[in-house]
Amino acid sequence: MDHGITLGPVTGLADIESTIDAVTRGGADAVLTQKGIASRVHDNSNDAGYIVHLNGSTTIGPDQRDKRPTGTVEDAIRAGGDALSVHINVGSEHEPEQLRFLSEVTGRAAEFGLPVLAMTYARGPDVRDRSDPEGYADDLAHAVRLGEELGADLLKTSYSGDPETFERVVLSGPEQQNRTVPGSAVYPGANRSVVRRQPMYRRSSSEGVGVPCSISCIFRTTSSISSARLSSEEKSTSNPSSSCRVSRTAWALFGSTR
């Protein structure tokens, strides 16, 4: 729900308290926002985890791919964050600055024992797209491996478009266990799935959570988040009107530290 910076107070984010309450009651394990609205998160998150996003851009600015720092590790701690998040666009002209920022965040976060989620997207003038699925998968794999190399504990990336090419994306990372999303045969290799922003903008967030087919994939990279810290309870949901299935996992590590 960090898209208040990106898009403004669109439907579902204007009254973000109600949205947070609805999606966490619907089974979301954690909520991700920018630091400035932390106080609006904590009272409505129903003990879900809180991830603080540390960079951003807008759709009305000169370049949406130019994600600039919006906070520090210390800011996230003061905001009551259980984990941190950084977005990087591998292949864009802003890649060098974003790589440096992610590296700095993972290094500083490690000092406090906080996990970092890296949103590693392949976006730029020379990046292939889904019209070239083999090439696009190679670029996504590069982005994923880059996030691991820079110390991220969790990675979020785009789906390549088909199971065969996405498996190659997953093979770019170190962990090969749990290589099928629970409850889904569509996204092999991803340990987790994350619902993207679209359901937040629907009239009924509680109905929308967990059901859209527009999702990204998350998988764990390093041993700093051990399996012992993860809840063994897996929850799956399916949309009766869609064949898309999404897995959600309760992250014990993201439990309240406030």
- Residues serving a catalytic function are 2, 121, 156
Nearest to 72 by CA among 119, 32, 35: 35
250 to 73, 109, 254: CA distances (angstroms): 23, 22, 8
Report strand pairing: 154-157 vs 116-122: parallel
Say if residues 148 and 130 touch (Cβ distance below 8 Å): no
Pairwise CA distance, residues 245 & 255, whole Å? 25
Pairwise CA distance, residues 41 & 33, whole Å? 8
User: H or E element: which one contains 7?
Assistant: helix 3-7
17: Cα within 13 Å, side-chain hemisphere: 5
95 to 89, 136, 154: CA distances (angstroms): 6, 17, 19
Say if residues 8 and 22 touch (Cβ distance below 8 Å): no
